[in-house]
Homo-oligomer: A and B are copies of this chain.
Amino acid sequence: MLNITRKVEYALIALRHMQSKNNTDLTSAKEIATKYGIPQQLLAKTLQQMARDGIIKAVQGPAGGYKIAANLKSISLKDFFEKLEGPLGMMDCYFDSECLQITNCNIRIPIQRINDNMRSMFSKMTLQEITQ
């Protein structure tokens, strides 16, 4: 329970890989996919998403690839997770309230407390800490 998704996992692996290189160098999806045994197309999509989000910069064409664009210190894990996977919470009712049991539900408030704790924890950790 409480697993991160492969998408996030692949994204972290990619960031860490890029960070270990000189930041003038570009890294292709293929390079990472091969080295870490990750499905290339899936990784590519994740990289594209991070590029759209401004976390990395994409360069097209042969000899193209990606490199880190943002200051990883300035991106919290919470923001990172939410960029890639949407709202971060233990129950969906934390965000949208289409739960039918909502009038009867007796754990909304307590669950919100846990949620806040968890989000706070991930707000305090930055991408830099993960990838260094």
Beyond known contacts A3-B92, A12-B107: 15 more, CB 8 A cutoff: A1-B8, A3-B89, A12-B110, A13-B107, A16-B107, A16-B110, A35-B104, A36-B101, A36-B104, A38-B101, A110-B130, A111-B130, A117-B125, A118-B121, A121-B121
Beta-carbon contact of B125 and A114 below 8 Å? yes
Copy tally for this chain in the complex stands at: 2
Beta-carbon contact of B2 and A90 below 8 Å? yes
Interface residues of A, CB < 8 Å — how many?
A: 43
Tell me whether A4 is interfacial, beta carbon within 8 Å: yes
Beta-carbon contact of A105 and B2 below 8 Å? no
Bound Cα distance A106, B9 (Å): 10
